[in-house]
Amino acid sequence: MQLEDYFDFQRPDDIRVKGTRVGIETILYDFIHRCRTPEEIARSYPSLTLEQVYATILYYLHHKEAVSAYLSDWIDWSHKAREEQRRNSSAAVRKLMKLKAERKANLKANGSEISA
């Protein structure tokens, strides 16, 4: 089996782990930016095997320049999409975000911290 056999290359900006809906960016973001082990990643995504996680990391290591560019483009797109969603959110979403911010401020004022 070739390393590339583990993946579905749907488009230049969309590489998925074969037989799943998981993009390689999901695994690699957890591995690179969140410093999660392959075992932790495999436990987080029931549709993945540990072998698939290791294959994704190995693919990254073998094609570091191209995959790093792929990840950078994905991160840029994610930030733009999140900002667009924030700017064009519905009234219900804006209300929920306001309530969340108020709750966080109240808890902070009372000496308790919560994670976002």
Per-residue confidence of the chain (116 residues) as pLDDT tens digits? 788 899 999 988 899 999 999 999 999 999 999 999 999 999 999 999 999 999 999 999 999 999 999 999 988 888 888 888 777 878 887 788 888 889 888 888 887 655 55
Q: Is the residue at 116 inside a domain?
A: no
Q: Is the residue at 114 inside a domain?
A: no
Q: Is the residue at 50 inside a domain?
A: yes
- Under 8 Å between Cβ of 32 and 71: yes
Q: Is the residue at 47 inside a domain?
A: yes
**Structural domain total, the chain:** 1
- Under 8 Å between Cβ of 42 and 51: no
- Domain containing 63: what range? 3-109
Q: Is the residue at 56 inside a domain?
A: yes
Q: Is the residue at 115 inside a domain?
A: no
Q: Is the residue at 20 inside a domain?
A: yes
Q: Is the residue at 54 inside a domain?
A: yes
Greatest alpha-carbon span in the chain: 58
pTM of the model: 0.69
